[in-house]
């Protein structure tokens, strides 16, 4: 299993009231997440932040799963491969 760092440009929202001038200065945010690489395809990268080892029935189970569309990914770095 690979541990990777994925960087991407993301949308975000906020519910506070702002002026039009402030709104015009807003930009997408840069994000980076480290996790276990479950899948990488032309469509998306699937990462898990945690692993429940061999539960139930001797099978690993994953939690805190994130799906990142490849169209917004800017970099993928392999940190560890086991």
Domain boundaries, the chain: 2-81
Helices vs. strands in the chain: H and E counts, helices first? 1, 5
* Confidence at residue 57, expressed as pLDDT on a 0 to 100 scale: 85
| Nearest-angstrom CA–CA distance, 34 and 24 | 31
Confidence class of residue 74 from pLDDT cuts 50, 70 and 90?
very high
Q: Quick check: 62 and 51 in contact, CB under 8 A?
A: yes
pLDDT by residue (tens digit) across 12-70?
999 999 999 999 999 999 999 999 999 999 999 999 999 998 887 888 899 999 999 99
* Predicted pLDDT at 82: 85
């Amino acid at each position: 299993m690979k541990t990777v760092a994925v960087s991407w440009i993301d949308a975000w929202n906020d519910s506070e009231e702002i002026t039009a001038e402030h709104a015009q200065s807003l930009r997408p945010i840069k994000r980076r997440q480290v996790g276990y690489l479950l899948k990488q395809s032309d469509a998306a990268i699937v990462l898990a932040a945690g692993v429940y080892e061999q539960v139930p029935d001797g099978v690993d189970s994953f939690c805190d799963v994130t799906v990142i569309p490849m169209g917004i990914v800017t970099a993928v770095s392999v940190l560890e491969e086991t």
